[in-house]
Amino acid sequence: MGNETAQAAAPASGTSSTFHLESRLTVQHAPALLDSLRMRRGGDLTLDASSVVTISTPCLQVLLAAGESWRRDGRRLQIMDPSSDFLMDLEHLGIGLEALQSQEST
């Protein structure tokens, strides 16, 4: 798998893109996930969570921070097609899907 946590090119500032989350988002993936999201800041972003089978607390913290950053920037961050495993992990960690998303759009 390497250091990649998703497959998508970084968008130009102010554009929209889709970021495909890896199936396993463990503690080892958190730094690369953070870097990948930072590269995409400035535009609207859709996170495709359809293949996620597990997400660790550190990766969830990265996604929570991203949601807050996108809200502050007035941009939209949304989760697309969350897998049942993704939703179950969120529930076990006491986090609602809405906490990860920003519905803002400029």
Please give the torsion angle defined by the CA atoms of residues 4, 9, 15 and 16, in that order, rounded to the nearest 10 degrees: -60
Q: Is residue 10 part of a domain?
A: no
Gyration radius of the chain's alpha carbons: 12
Range of the domain at 80: 17-103
User: Measured between alpha carbons, how far is 25 from 100 in angstroms, rounded to an integer?
Assistant: 15
34 is a domain residue? yes
How many structural domains does the chain have? 1
% of the chain surpassing 70 pLDDT? 84
Tokens for 6?
A: 């998703």
* 79 phi, psi to nearest 5 deg: -100, 125
What pLDDT shows up at residue 15? Answer: 75
In whole angstroms, give the CA distance from residue 17 to residue 37: 11
pLDDT in tens, 20-53: 999 999 999 999 999 999 999 999 999 999 999 9
Q: In the beta sheet, which residues pair with residue 54? A: 24
Q: What pLDDT is attached to residue 4? A: 42
